Structure 1
């Protein structure tokens, strides 16, 4: 039974408030098992909407045999490889298969897709109960790594104690807001019982008195078992605490315009500043904030055991270059994934691209605003291995050391393929830069790189243990390879 999000929130809110589960089941007209399932759920993070694997009793006993045929076909001429129809005929004749042809066809298609690597008037004074929080956004500017950026300040206040917290981000999209709130909750060590927001955030919208909450924020709220309330953005007194806090924190912590090396450094400064201001401030009743904050913390909720993954999943079709467009910005999956429907998970600082049944294609840094496509040089390597002669015009050249590019240019197609494959395999544990540096040193040592040598040397470089001056000492690797050859004989 699928339970709507608002009913899940009711179950978790009532369970957090101490309502017996039998009473929850009676009020919501649900079974006790359903109430227990959603009340005990540790993680409400959204999962990739990929179909779950299910058993196929007719074809499952033959999967290994089919996979062996397809694997052996990789060494056969293209026009002499098994089709799904030929595999089906052999299954019926040789193995007594009694299932359908469509099951065979689906498995063959899935196997080939998974292994595809080639290119194809006055205000009323309000009294706020302990444990209630308000959240709002403000704008500010900062110089990050030498670039002046327009950023968003997500502020959260506890009006009862007047405690104020803030984090900086690039956007106020729902995934950025949920990630920022999760950071603040972890900072406080508790989550609020109720969060007051307005239409300015992407948590929800009030239209003619009706609130429509975003799917991601509903999951976020259910994860932390908290309630929410939306007020009129034009009525400042409804959440005056956080609106005042945005201006207060901006004046006290962001003037003059901060100059930092990264967004993480900026958030560390904001955290230190908020802790300092909270320690020196007073609540509305005149008590020190730390004293009143103890009452807020006592009324707030314990954090869930599992962290919330603030991710917005969307389906995109890649273009002929293997690029998907999300929020107006291009992200390169790679030519091997051209003209395919891909699943894209958008987080506050990364974009994850999945294919088929959840197979990870790439994880790229999130970009905002206009600019070039975001890419990882490694996403281009499978296509270059399939077409090594295209290296001469590939954009990957700008990501490699010039000496390595010249060395690869001097090789024939087989040599290029060998170098690129060794870089691709070494980059997985050591990173692209270390793999390129290792391949270059092997070439400078007078040899064409191989997988084992480049991998070992790249790991040393990534660990901060570069080879001695004058290039890599490859004698140890030569000895290792000779020993391996002798044992093989």
Structure 2
């Protein structure tokens, strides 16, 4: 094609000055037929050349195999994907491929661009494509210790297949939110390619004017770890994740009403996996295909799990009060007397509060409290201090928490025995529960008030699996001995035997 300047010159000389095509051709050094073509041309719309699909007898038989490998690798981190050279080597090893390294490289380079474009389109949640998911919290009533309480549950739904999973938690905080997502990822063995969220505070720190989101640091790290794409609804536009909102209602109406009795959330949640999966043995409301079969397509389109599990915890440095308590969300947790009025490192998860040293060694672990103005006291770190003031024992909540056997024993102890008993409990309660310690006390008390050494001996026999030695029983009775009689008759028998009269 001629340059724009040449075409303008030709059209100007021919159409405005009426010069001959031969004259113009001599002036610009072109063929007269070329001059005639551009002088008379009516349509200058850009021409779209159709893509030429030239036959490739070498690559055509293995193209579908390479495509499968590339799609499989897209689910992995880049460092774990096959190179074009490795694909070429595998084709030679497995399929007797005779083409060159360069042929495979060219095909892989071009095909990656096409497949990546297709994959990005397939990840739009609103199109209900495989591998996309939506997330939201719901609430339902539960019966706990005779009272009705309301607990949140996290739902992750797959709009393409209409499948879902859900887990119940004590709160909608950041740790519960991330723990719920992680559980579902690891239970299914895959990660949705794209997940749509409402503007949940555990994920979104701030909505920016241009529609972008400032993410919380924990959520950002979670996203980087699992590699999924995230999307957020516009403010006050919950309908943009209408599928999961419908599933929140469906889960509550079909699985959580009337209110369930709950004693242990972990045990409850174990049974919810099966409920979610059994619900898939029905046809999709539009596609007339089993949800379980459609969910397989969701799984195939999802990402592969990373090799390591994300730890849904956060660390804070907090200052303890003069009694060694720290406060988290209006609830108090004991540390140790040595941390009174000092800072400690705290590891916070959805169900545990761990007090750590500066070297991240565990000092004491608490179950996380939910609600307001509650206190968790772990006495073990305080027992050595209490051993120095044994008379104060009876005025502490630790005494009230003791099994009745230990209360009775300590009441009968002298001051020095109480000191030794408290030191013993401080040592063993680091790694053992009260059950074994109490069992040791009961056994050692069979013959009266035992010493601490006796309790220790029984305790270590129990935990080492040797049990208590039973009283020795003889299989056969001892032979009977002759009765002893006094007098000189024995000497008379001796003299008679010797022949002496």
Q: Structure 1-normalised TM-score?
A: 0.66
Match of 2:417 in 1: 415
CA change 1:351–1:431 in 2 (3 A) is same
1:449 aligns with 2:459: no
1:242, distance to aligned residue in structure 2 (A):
0.6
Cα pair 2:405 2:438 within 8 Å, conserved: no
1:187, distance to aligned residue in structure 2 (A):
2.1
Task: Give the aligned CA root-mean-square deviation in angstroms.
Answer: 3.0
Q: How does 1:59-458 map to 2 (within 5 A)?
A: 126-205=126-205, 206-208=207-209, 209-282=211-284, 284-443=286-445, 445=447, 446-450=449-453, 452-456=456-460
CA change 1:287–1:394 in 2 (3 A) is same
Cα pair 1:310 1:347 within 8 Å, conserved: yes
Match of 1:6 in 2: none
Residues 121-161 of structure 1: CA distance to partner in whole angstroms, max 9, x if unpaired? xxxx9312321111101111111343322101100011111
Aligned equivalents of 1:233, 1:128: Cα separation in 2: 21
Cα pair 1:145 1:262 within 8 Å, conserved: no
What number of residue pairs does the alignment pair up?
Answer: 356
Q: Determine helix, strand or coil for the equivalent of 1:167.
A: strand
1:454, distance to aligned residue in structure 2 (A):
4.9
Residues 172-212 of structure 1: CA distance to partner in whole angstroms, max 9, x if unpaired? 11111111111111222211122211113511242432311
CA change 1:294–1:275 in 2 (3 A) is same
CA change 1:201–1:174 in 2 (3 A) is same
Residues 448-471 of structure 1: CA distance to partner in whole angstroms, max 9, x if unpaired? 1137415325527xx8x987xxxx
Aligned equivalents of 2:238, 2:79: Cα separation in 1: 30
Q: Give 5+ residue unaligned stretches, structure 1.
A: 1-11, 22-124, 468-472, 477-489
Cα pair 1:439 1:449 within 8 Å, conserved: no
Q: Determine helix, strand or coil for the equivalent of 1:304.
A: coil
Name the structure, 1 or 2, with higher relative contact order (CA <8 Å, separation 6+): 1
Match of 1:46 in 2: none
1:241, distance to aligned residue in structure 2 (A):
1.0
1:15 aligns with 2:78: yes
Aligned equivalents of 1:466, 1:252: Cα separation in 2: 51
Farther-moved stretch of structure 1 (229-238 vs 240-249): 229-238
Q: Determine helix, strand or coil for the equivalent of 1:140.
A: strand
Cα pair 1:175 1:347 within 8 Å, conserved: yes
Aligned equivalents of 1:13, 1:439: Cα separation in 2: 57
Q: Determine helix, strand or coil for the equivalent of 1:330.
A: strand
Cα pair 1:132 1:194 within 8 Å, conserved: yes
Q: Structure 2-normalised TM-score?
A: 0.65
Residues 78-137 of structure 1: CA distance to partner in whole angstroms, max 9, x if unpaired? xxxxxxxxxxxxxxxxxxxxxxxxxxxxxxxxxxxxxxxxxxxxxxx9312321111101
Cα pair 1:196 1:228 within 8 Å, conserved: yes
CA change 1:295–1:163 in 2 (3 A) is same
Aligned equivalents of 1:163, 1:230: Cα separation in 2: 21
Q: Determine helix, strand or coil for the equivalent of 2:304.
A: coil
Aligned equivalents of 2:297, 2:360: Cα separation in 1: 45
Cα pair 2:436 2:459 within 8 Å, conserved: no
Aligned equivalents of 1:190, 1:272: Cα separation in 2: 17
Farther-moved stretch of structure 1 (311-320 vs 224-233): 224-233
Aligned equivalents of 2:181, 2:79: Cα separation in 1: 20
Runs of 4+ in 1 over 4 A off after TM superposition: 16-21, 473-476
Aligned equivalents of 1:411, 1:176: Cα separation in 2: 47
Aligned equivalents of 2:178, 2:391: Cα separation in 1: 46
Q: Determine helix, strand or coil for the equivalent of 2:126.
A: coil
